[in-house]
Structure 1
Amino acid sequence: MGVKSREEYLKEQRNKTDKNLEKLRQAIELNPDFSNYKLAKLLGISESYVRKGCYMLFTGTDDLIKNEDRSIKEHDVLYSRIKPEN
């Protein structure tokens, strides 16, 4: 069996991320009062992934950023939400 291409690897990782984000979305809907710690325990993931996943879900970046090779500045909607204040 040969080595996976970068594109295959990235596709698999995106699919895995999408599945985990959907699990997180469902867990939040069913347990809206759970802390990040409780959500992490429930799902068997790290608390930092819960925070990152929540950020992605609630800012819409899970749907907005599908190509991680692009700069975040190319996504005006997202960039306007997180750009540093001057």
Structure 2
Amino acid sequence: LSKLLNDFHDLFASKDSELGNTNLIKHTIDTQGRGPIRQRPYRVTNNQRKLLEDKVQEMLQANVIRYSQSPWASPVVLGLAVK
């Protein structure tokens, strides 16, 4: 895996601002007729909320995510970055 990453490093994003999107393929998830699942957000501290808001704004500006209105919803899970 390391060799592939090294050999083709120019094909991988090294930071969020390098991520892109495509309209060449449309992805769908077959829910087999099941209704939407909606979960409440997890509680977060004020610092975590600010971090989330900043990250969402970065991803919106980079066109990695977009605004959506959907009956489906799942809470955000914060994880530690491994460097």
TM-score range, shorter chain: under 0.3
Structure showing greater relative contact order (alpha-carbon pairs closer than 8 Å, 6 or more residues apart): 2
Q: TM-score, normalised by structure 2?
A: 0.26
- TM-score, length-normalised on structure 1? 0.25
Larger helix percent: 1
